[in-house]
């Protein structure tokens, strides 16, 4: 599973890859695992412009090493577990929204 996160000030973010031990996406599609790290500076999000400049991504994580729980009414939510091949958390204002969300 590919877990990408654009909240670069989160303590679990390593070069756009989430390193949290577990992730919980709430019913309003927000990652509640997010914790702001005051020592990190915001990194310009170039992931939207892949053709202009390649971002420095951390290696992909093994999906077996991570549990993603989900409370959202999403197509990928199966009994509270995310079964998507990958998720991306976007940096919209202050909240880390799951942009892989597909309404069920």
Output phi, psi for 52, to 5 deg.
Answer: -90, -45
Output the pLDDT for position 66: 79
Output the pLDDT for position 67: 86
Q: What is the mean pLDDT of each run of 10 residues along the chain (104 residues)?
A: 85 90 94 93 64 63 76 96 89 84 91
Output the pLDDT for position 64: 63
C-alpha 56/C-alpha 92 separation (Å) is 21
Output the pLDDT for position 43: 73
Output the pLDDT for position 46: 57
């Amino acid at each position: 599973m590919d877990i990408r996160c654009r909240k670069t000030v989160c303590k679990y973010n390593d070069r756009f890859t989430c390193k949290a031990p577990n992730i919980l996406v709430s019913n309003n599609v927000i990652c509640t695992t997010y914790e702001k790290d005051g020592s990190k500076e915001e990194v310009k999000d170039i992931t939207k412009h892949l053709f202009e400049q390649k971002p420095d991504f951390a290696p992909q994580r093994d999906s077996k090493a991570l549990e993603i729980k989900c409370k959202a009414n999403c197509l990928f939510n199966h009994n509270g577990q995310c079964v998507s091949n990958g998720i991306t958390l976007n940096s919209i204002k202050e909240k880390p929204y799951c942009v892989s969300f597909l309404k069920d």
